[in-house]
Amino acid sequence: MTELTMQEYIDQAEKDLLHTYNRYQIVLDKGEGVHLYDIEGKEYLDFVAGISVFALGYGNKEYNDALKNQIDKVIHTSNYYYNVPAIEAARALKKYSGMDRVFFTNSGAEAIEGAIKTARKYGYTRDGHTDHEIIAMNHSFHGRTMGALSVTGNPHYREAFEPGIGNIKFADYNDLESVKKLVNDKTIAIILETVQGEGGLTPASEEFLKGIREICDEKDILMILDEIQCGMGRTGYPFAFMKYGVKPDVLTVAKALGCGVPIGAFTMTEKVGQASLVAGDHGTTYGGNPLCCAAAAKVLEIMERDDIPSKARETGEYLWAKLDEVMNEFDAIKEHRGSGLMQGLLFDRPVSAIINSALKKGLILINAGADIIRFVPPLVIEKSDVDTMIGILKEAISENV
């Protein structure tokens, strides 16, 4: 293929790819540390990390070598046989999360599908019938497949695709009374993000999370925590729930689990494992393949060994102080939310113009909803990178408010 200019590649992409994204007008080529480069060689400081994915930064030699070695051995075998990377990744994820049973998927949405099926099967096993209900949260985001969409509390994403899977009710996040009102004898699960990502970078309050745990214990309801975005060190703990001293019955993981290769997981306690999915109930061709599991095993090894969550917590506190300063400087910023290296600034207007200005100045940022700028950098980001980002951010805001 002849080499095209950046604009020619973009024009070609717009003819061939289904237009489900309004993409930023750059073609990315490679990454190094916390920087990305477009095909013209322009450098960008990356405060998105592929949406909370590339936690260890780009070009991590240990990670790359683990993948290269696995490619030369075997990439795929199917789940009808055991493979060492999957066995090692499962053990590592159990240890890191405190959960007992692991099912590897290819994406976050697929992990949510598995969690929903786990809950429904748990109810079926217990009660012998199938009309159970799941309580989900307004402003939640759990993915784009039909099941995950059905528990996503944003009508804008769901509208054109109704009806969903049914028997889903929505409560208000951080409003325990609104959850209690929906609980009845049919309720089998309550699903929520420990820190809402897409829906606005809102952490669960301690009262809310503990309250949900109590309801679930009292009524034999499964507490499903979606930590696809906020897990894997991002909030300064291996998983965000650990800060609260509560434990879920089912936990979903993805994004940073593979740091770029497509892998997710739904995990559960032994009790749930023994009373839900059995042989024949669920499967995947690619899920748990040796290549992706070699990546996940290495990511988990590095995260634990190098105590990446502590680093994220420390840099997260620094980022918090700096973004507070920015908020005080501009009236257009209404609120500062988040936890660890997962933060957001809520503006009184759409933020796309600010993000585009920042991009021109070599800083990659992303929105969450129309009016929030989301900050989810690689977890290995340094304080000096935060300073650089803040400098560009202030310029970009000044030009647009």
Closest CA to 114 of 343, 276, 308, 330: 276
Residue 289 CB, nearest approach to ligand PLP (Å): 16
Considering the complex, what minimum distance in angstroms separates the CB of residue 367 from ligand PLP? 14
Shortest distance in whole angstroms from residue 74 CB to ligand PLP: 24
Shortest distance (Å) from residue 234 CB to ligand PLP: 10
Closer by beta carbon to ligand PLP, 202 or else 229: 229
Q: Which residue has the tokens 């501009």?
A: 330
Nearest CA-CA partner of 113 in 141, 143, 137, 147: 147
In the bound complex, what is the minimum distance in angstroms from residue 109's beta carbon to ligand PLP?
3
Long-range contacts of 120-127 (CB under 8 A, 24+ apart): 120/188, 121/276, 121/277, 121/281, 122/188, 122/189, 122/222, 122/272, 122/275, 122/276, 123/188, 125/275, 125/276, 126/220, 126/275
Q: Least distance from C-beta 141 to ligand PLP, angstroms? A: 5
Minimal CB distance residue for ligand PLP? 108
- Considering the complex, state which of residue 10 and residue 146 has its C-beta at the smaller distance from ligand PLP: 146
Binding site for ligand PLP (CB under 6 A): 107-109, 112, 141-143, 193, 197-198, 226, 228-229, 254-255
Residue 84's Cβ-count burial label (10 Å; 0-12, 13-18, 19+) is middle
- Give 340 or 397: the residue with its C-beta nearer to ligand PLP: 340
Pick 107 or 150: Cβ nearer ligand PLP: 107
Q: Which helix (H) or strand (E) holds 252?
A: strand 250-253
Cα 64 from Cα 70, distance rounded (Å): 10
Of the pair 309, 396, the CB lying nearest ligand PLP is at 309
Nearer to ligand PLP (CB atom), residue 107 or residue 202: 107
